[in-house]
């Protein structure tokens, strides 16, 4: 059995405390670690809890079995591609799909002698010195995303133990959840004007999900109950544009090579045009038509005409009622 990692903290001898502290560090790391480096950092933190020589953490689609993103520790950058190319002959893959969210040891799937003679070992693992494998898969049926964390050891005399599997079983949910949390936390800092009640997802140009908040799918199911799974039930608006479809506000923003989609339940003000919202906020702040017109850069008569249409759209008939819509908590 492997010894615990050396530490000057005597409490580290308690495996429960070690795991709990690791989980705590994961969530705190979301505040400071950039999202594009979070997975690599988290795997490094995991090495302080469980000894391994190399690891990969990839996310992609179940249908294609290809990674959209993948972080690698202790292996060459091209290793995930080799793993993808040989997944059809990898006996641990069907075992992972049957035991989602539970660690699977290659030794429990294929005895050492058979593993050493197997094609997958000769083509994929032996060239990189991989002798022991402990993998965990996670699939989200709503988004179609599949995540895989595989830990590797190079010494055949150091198999993964039942205790190792138990530790991975405890932390795996938090690995996936903390990575998603860090991603959206950092993204919310870049887009501070998003509605506080919104939910978000990151998609590529084809509409395939890369990250998604659980509430994102709750809102889709609420407003599009007959939607097809694993796909957006609407066309994305142009970047920076907000549209209202079936009572749901949808906004798309650029996010590196991806697009971030925000959704939230449409309120009365969401049904106004951008110009109408400008005027509403100005008037709700107590500005006169002339003052509002000067701030926005339009004629006072234009303010009056827009406000008349706004009253009809929102079903209000006074500035007081309009202000109550804009600032309900101030009543």
The two tokens of residue 11 are 């409490």
On whether the CB atoms of residues 138 and 176 are closer than 8 A, the answer is yes
Rg of the chain on CA atoms, in Å: 26
Q: Closest Cα partner for 172 from 143, 212, 138, 214?
A: 138
User: Count of H helices and E strands in the chain?
Assistant: 13, 10
pLDDT of residue 8: 39
> Given the structure tokens 């190079």, which residue do they identify?
154
Residues 217, 232: Cα–Cα separation, whole Å: 10
Residues counted in the chain: 331
Q: Closest Cα partner for 273 from 238, 314, 319, 219?
A: 314
In the predicted model, is pLDDT for residue 293 greater than 90?
Answer: no
What letter would DSSP give residue 216?
H
The two tokens of residue 107 are 């030794």
The two tokens of residue 137 are 């898969």
On whether the CB atoms of residues 129 and 122 are closer than 8 A, the answer is no
> Given the structure tokens 């009056």, which residue do they identify?
304
Write down the pTM of the prediction.
Answer: 0.73
71 DSSP β-pair partners: 57
pLDDT tens sequence across 182-234 = 887 776 665 555 666 788 888 887 778 888 888 899 999 999 999 888 888 99
> Given the structure tokens 């939910």, which residue do they identify?
199
pLDDT tens sequence across 100-143 = 999 999 999 999 999 999 999 999 999 999 999 999 999 888 88
pLDDT tens sequence across 59-89 = 988 777 788 889 999 999 999 999 999 999 9
């Amino acid at each position: 059995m492997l010894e615990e990692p050396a530490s000057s903290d005597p409490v580290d001898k308690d495996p429960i405390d070690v795991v709990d502290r690791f989980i705590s560090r994961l969530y705190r790391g979301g505040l400071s670690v950039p999202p594009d480096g979070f997975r690599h950092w988290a795997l490094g933190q995991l090495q302080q809890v469980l000894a391994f020589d190399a690891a990969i953490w990839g996310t992609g689609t179940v249908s294609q079995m290809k990674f959209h993103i993948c972080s690698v520790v202790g292996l060459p950058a091209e290793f995930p591609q080799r793993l993808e190319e040989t997944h059809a002959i990898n006996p641990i893959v069907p075992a992972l799909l049957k035991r989602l969210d539970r660690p699977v040891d290659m030794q429990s799937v294929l005895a050492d002698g058979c593993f050493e003679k197997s094609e997958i070992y000769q083509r994929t693992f032996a060239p990189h010195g991989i002798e022991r494998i402990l993998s965990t898969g996670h699939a989200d049926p709503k988004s179609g995303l599949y995540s895989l964390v595989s830990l590797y050891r190079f010494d055949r005399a150091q198999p993964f133990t039942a205790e190792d599997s138990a530790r991975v079983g405890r932390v795996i949910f938090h690995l996936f959840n903390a990575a998603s949390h860090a991603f959206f936390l950092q993204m919310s800092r870049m887009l501070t004007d998003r509605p506080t009640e919104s939910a978000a997802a990151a998609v590529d140009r084809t509409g395939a999900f890369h990250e998604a908040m659980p509430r994102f799918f709750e809102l889709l199911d609420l407003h599009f109950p007959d939607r097809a799974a694993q796909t957006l039930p609407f066309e994305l608006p142009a970047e920076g544009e907000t549209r209202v479809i079936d009572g749901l506000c949808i906004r798309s923003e650029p996010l590196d090579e991806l697009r971030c989609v925000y959704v939230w339940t449409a309120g009365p003000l969401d049904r106004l045009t951008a110009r109408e919202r400008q005027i509403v906020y100005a008037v709700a702040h107590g500005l006169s038509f002339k003052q509002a017109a000067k701030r926005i850069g339009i004629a006072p008569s234009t303010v009056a005409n827009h406000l008349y249409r706004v009253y009809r759209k929102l079903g209000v008939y006074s500035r007081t009622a309009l202000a109550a819509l804009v600032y309900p908590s101030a009543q």
